[in-house]
Every structure is written in C-alpha cells, then in structure tokens.
Amino acid sequence: MTQPDFNGQQADDAPLDPATLRIQTKLKRLLAGSSLVMFAGFIAVFAAIFYKINAADDSASRDAIASTISLGGAGQVLQVSLSEGRLVLLVEDEGSRMIVYADPSSGEVLGKTRFLNR
C-alpha cells in the first residue's frame, strides 16, 4: 500500500491532464458555492424561527384584557368597540351620552367626550 502525497494522489498514479484538472476545479467551486447557499438558507430559516418565537411572546402580553374598567359612576354602557388599540365605549349618563376611551390592557380611562344637548 502506498502513501498519498500532498495532492491527494497516490505516489504511483500518473498526473492528471489539464482538461481533467479544469473540470475538477470547476466541481470544487460549484460544491463550495452550493454549500454557501445551503448555509445561508439554514441561517435564514433559523433567523425566521427566532423572530417568530420572540414576536409571539410580545403579542401574548399585548393581548391581555383588563377584567374591570371603572367608569366613575357613569350610567349604562350602550356600545363597545376596539379601535386603534383602545376600547371605545358609548355610555348614557343622566340623559346625555358620552364616549369613554379606555386602555384595554390596564382598564384605565384615557379620556371622555360628552355630547351636550342644546
């Protein structure tokens, strides 16, 4: 059994002709290029998974809804809707109506708009 030399050939093998060497270098370049593309694809897939995991944790805490909202002695709630991340309540109090804006996660009243009858 013979020992291979530094070129990966056996000591008793004949050297390759130039056309075969060109094909061999082309194949090595193609293998390196396809390996880099596959490596980039793995990085992209793992980056997308990491992004989705972190985004899912953020949205779970953002979707929490308060269990109670204190309207401060206001009358009857006629309608509720969620608009631009705020709860919008139509409330009737002592014959007049008002819109109450509340934070859905904390239940804090952000503001009120009262309609006056003139």
Annotated domain spans of the chain: 15-63, 76-114
Q: What is the pLDDT of residue 57?
A: 55
- Over residues 35-84, the pLDDT tens digits come to 999 999 999 999 999 999 888 655 555 567 777 888 877 678 899 998 88
pLDDT, greater one: 60 or 88: 88
Query: 4 or 113, which is more confident?
Result: 113
Q: Is the pLDDT at 3 greater than 70, yes or no?
A: no
What's the rounded Cα separation, in Å, for the pair 115 and 100? 11
At residue 83's C-alpha, the angle toward residues 81 and 86, to 5°, is 90
pLDDT for residue 26: 97
The torsion defined by the Cα of 97, 99, 105 and 110, in degrees rounded to 10, comes to: -120
pLDDT, position 68: 82
DSSP state of 4: B
